[in-house]
Structure 1
Amino acid sequence: MKRHFLIGIGLAVATAGSLHAQEPVVSVNGDVLTQQQFDQALDQRTQGRSGQLPDAQKRQFLQQLVDLQLLAQMAEGRGIADDPAVQAELANTRRAVLARGLIERISEEQVSDEEIQAAYDEQYAEQSGGEEFKARHILVEEESTAESLIAELDDGADFAALAQEHSTGPTGERGGDLGWFNPEQMVPAFSEAVAALEPGRYSSEPVETQFGWHVIQLEDVRKAEPPKLEEVRGELEQRIAQRKIQQMVQERRESAEIDYQADWANE
């Protein structure tokens, strides 16, 4: 684990300096650590909260980076950088950093309002005009148990109280309350049984699914309304960016010269 961390920090120090002409923070035996390198390493350590740290903690972290640089220099002196395993790890890390950098830049590119609207229509058009249900259920293992519960309901028992006492499902403790849901969220047999009920009524026969036997009570029905576009804009922008990245990789794959040389890598 320590070697992974040293290599990760060492790579950040080595690559950032070649890409950014920044003011130096410290020089260790002639190797310069720039402000850009320091900020990147500190952001990585603090998960982006470096701006909240007092100068004393920043100085403490700087001393850790100096120690890392000294260790890296000693490793270089011993020829560790020529070790095939170390070279492989450095190459893999460099590849991952470059790929992540490209993905971040593509994700930050402006997504047009037309693209967002099209993605919104594609994802949420089916929700418009449909129905959502609010229901409770009691889940038990045996059909006979479900039949007994229906008989108790026929005699005036409270559905929520029976669910709390008998249901084996995760909603039992809250009286079997499933909240609002659309039919696609439930298995077909359950959704069909709910749709056949009138609000306020419960199933007259047990409903079987792969989870067991259900007694279902429909409480209410409403027209399904999709979320407002602004509520899901961020999610849509991310999805569009991911799609662009996938398309870009696929196009590059189709034009690239890829030669699988290991025997096991070929079908």
Structure 2
Amino acid sequence: MIRVNETTIEEKAVLEEMQYHPAESQRDAMLKAAEALIIGELLKQRARSLGFKITSARAQVTEEDYLDRLIAEEVHVPEATEQEIATYFEQNRGKFTTSPLLEVRHILLAAPPGEDKPRIEALALAEEIIKQLQAGGDFAGLARAHSACPSKETGGSLGQLSRGQTVPEFERIVFAAEKGLYTLPVESRYGFHVVWVERKVAGAPLSFSAVREKIRDYLNEKVRHKAIAQYIQQLIADAKIDGYDFSVSQSPLMQ
């Protein structure tokens, strides 16, 4: 049982809240759940003390509704200046380019996620196909013989790809690969892929005017997150909390 000023949070509430806080252990999930409930209660108490009447289009008012109103009323969140936006652009020019373009062929050895035997078999076959290709094997012929992707009819060609067109786990590897055969199977939710990068075209630099608003929004959101963390830390410091050792600096919610 936890007490937040004069309000009690029962163990049952913490156990119910745990489902929304996956963690490596039950203890960690319980700590996260307790923190979330304590912070939510502090926000509600502060809103009530200020006489706020929170309304929402949803069926139930959430902690976010209280937090948004409190931040608007009690916290000054500075906006990024033009100089700060320009400085960030100059220091991070490499981040601001158009998507690179790739021409890729692949062979998909399909295997459903979570099924160990089919995935082990698909991995073994992918490794064998890579060996055949390294020995001079015909990619198009191997694609027609083994691939579970419709692209097998065109020699495994996926055409021209830019970022965001494929699943993240596939994209992360392929866009970092050099031209030619990638010598390890690429795992995705669909199975294992044998990948050949035919062509790479680097992304072109973007102008400051093209990314100014994006940088501004990013910097403003970063400052807002920091302001929210500091505001919640102050609520915790001012509260009387029993039954929970709230170490602000270690709290993942604060981070």
TM-score computed with the length of structure 1 as normaliser: 0.42
- Larger relative contact order (CA 8 Å, sep ≥ 6): 2
TM-score computed with the length of structure 2 as normaliser: 0.44
Work out which of the two has the higher radius of gyration on C-alpha atoms and give 1 or 2: 1
